[in-house]
């Protein structure tokens, strides 16, 4: 792989006040697709891309991305299930008519990039280096067609908590009118258009004082799908439930990890259709004691308030519940190499 090092290294931001993806490391990885093949990947100084105004992805949204993290604990660097992200990226690629990438090649290239940027990985306090692989179509023609040229790139950003409040339970608004995705659409692909489509309702929710929107199914507006950037879990009478992957829901890698960790602990997780009416009923009766979201960026994020039909329903006294806290500690412990990795999810880089 070709590597061109930067002449000027950036000053590091204050790792104690990072927020989410506001700063980017010194180098990035770029790999282009042309003449029917992915070319050799290249590590180069982080910098702007030059884009023709007719770049097709800017017009028709043929683009996908992934999100994963590198962790550092006592100088030891780990990645969590990185292969799964690139396997999922190929599923998204297929749905968006983008040529598949060579999973081993991009994984090895990522490892080289992370080793080069090791001092950009913040240590402790829930901090990590967020890794953003993405692919976008780069044809310079405006006919609506799948492109013949693409760019794959990986950029890196040291991050703290996704939500400004950290682990403080979030306020989520149930959206009964707008939908994120429908069966047969692109909901289960990690494509850029899904996120654009979510902004309008997200902004309305934020204006009302909520953090994000809870999406319901597109045909009946009755069943929970996912929340903004997270998959959802509910704990009712000690049983854990999460919406089944019906085709319009992102198959989260953190979601899958949560299911496996809970199951291994002897807590049964049911993947099923979850009626929002029953969720509201469970909160009101006190039977539903915890709700939390899972995601690479959000990790395990408790939901303290659900805005539903004009009322704010408070879950578990607006405190992080026992199961969510256990899962957060277990997952983050495994991710940064402190807790035993029974599933073989962690890749050690040094």
Which chain residues interact with ligand COI by CB under 6 A?
Answer: 67, 229, 295-297
* C-beta closer to ligand COI: residue 133 or 316: 133
CB of residue 295 to ligand COI, shortest distance in Å: 4
* C-beta closer to ligand COI: residue 242 or 289: 242
Which DSSP helix (H) or strand (E) runs through 299?
A: strand 299-308
Contacts by 190-194, CB closer than 8 A, 24 or more apart? 190/64, 190/65, 190/66, 190/88, 190/89, 190/92, 190/250, 191/61, 191/63, 191/64, 191/92, 191/95, 191/96, 192/57, 192/61, 192/63, 192/64, 192/65, 192/136, 193/61, 193/63, 194/250
* C-beta closer to ligand COI: residue 226 or 290: 226
* C-beta closer to ligand COI: residue 282 or 293: 293
∠ at Cα 216 (252, 316), nearest 5°? 75
* C-beta closer to ligand COI: residue 67 or 337: 67
> For residue 120, what is the DSSP state?
G
* C-beta closer to ligand COI: residue 22 or 265: 22
CB of residue 200 to ligand COI, shortest distance in Å: 16
Nearest residue (beta carbon) to ligand COI: 67
Strand 42-45 to strand 2-3: parallel, antiparallel, or no bridges (unpaired)? parallel
CB of residue 296 to ligand COI, shortest distance in Å: 3
CB of residue 194 to ligand COI, shortest distance in Å: 9
Strand 27-34 to strand 63-65: parallel, antiparallel, or no bridges (unpaired)? unpaired
In 3D space, the residue among 175, 178, 171, 169 whose CA is nearest the CA of residue 276 turns out to be 175
CB of residue 317 to ligand COI, shortest distance in Å: 27
∠ at Cα 206 (201, 327), nearest 5°? 95
Do 163 and 170 touch, CB atoms closer than 8 A? yes
CB of residue 229 to ligand COI, shortest distance in Å: 4
CB of residue 214 to ligand COI, shortest distance in Å: 15
* C-beta closer to ligand COI: residue 56 or 229: 229
């Amino acid at each position: 792989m070709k590597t061109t090092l930067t002449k000027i290294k950036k000053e590091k931001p204050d790792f104690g006040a990072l927020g989410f993806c506001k700063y980017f490391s010194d180098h990035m990885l770029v790999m282009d697709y042309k003449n029917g093949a992915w070319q050799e990947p290249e590590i180069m100084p982080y910098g702007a891309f030059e884009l023709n105004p007719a770049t097709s992805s800017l017009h028709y949204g043929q683009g996908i991305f992934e999100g994963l993290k590198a962790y550092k604990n006592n100088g030891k660097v780990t990645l969590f299930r990185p292969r799964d992200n690139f396997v999922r990226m190929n599923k998204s690629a297929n749905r968006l008519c983008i040529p598949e990438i060579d999973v081993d090649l991009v994984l090895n290239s990522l490892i080289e990039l992370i080793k080069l940027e090791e001092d950009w990985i913040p240590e402790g306090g829930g901090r990590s280096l967020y890794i953003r692989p993405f692919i976008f179509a780069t044809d310079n023609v405006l006919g609506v067609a799948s492109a013949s040229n693409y760019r794959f790139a990986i950029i890196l950003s040291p991050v703290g908590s996704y939500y400004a409040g950290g682990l403080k339970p979030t306020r989520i608004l149930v959206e009964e009118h707008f939908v994120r995705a429908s069966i047969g659409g692109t909901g289960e692909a990690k494509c850029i258009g899904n996120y654009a489509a979510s902004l309008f309702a997200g902004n309305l929710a934020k204006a009302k004082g909520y953090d994000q929107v809870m999406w319901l199914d597109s045909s009946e507006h009755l069943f929970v799908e996912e929340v903004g950037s997270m998959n959802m879990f509910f704990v009712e009478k000690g049983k854990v439930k999460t919406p089944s992957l019906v085709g319009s829901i992102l198959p989260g890698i953190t979601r899958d990890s949560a299911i496996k960790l809970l199951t291994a602990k002897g807590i049964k997780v049911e993947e099923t259709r979850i009626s929002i009416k029953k969720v509201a009923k469970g909160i009101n009766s006190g039977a539903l004691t915890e709700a939390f979201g899972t995601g690479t960026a959000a990790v395990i994020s408790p939901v303290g308030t659900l805005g539903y039909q004009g009322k704010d329903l408070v879950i578990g006294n607006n405190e992080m519940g026992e199961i969510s806290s256990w899962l957060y500690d277990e997952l983050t412990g495994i991710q940064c190499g402190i807790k035993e990795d029974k599933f073989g999810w962690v890749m050690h880089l040094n």
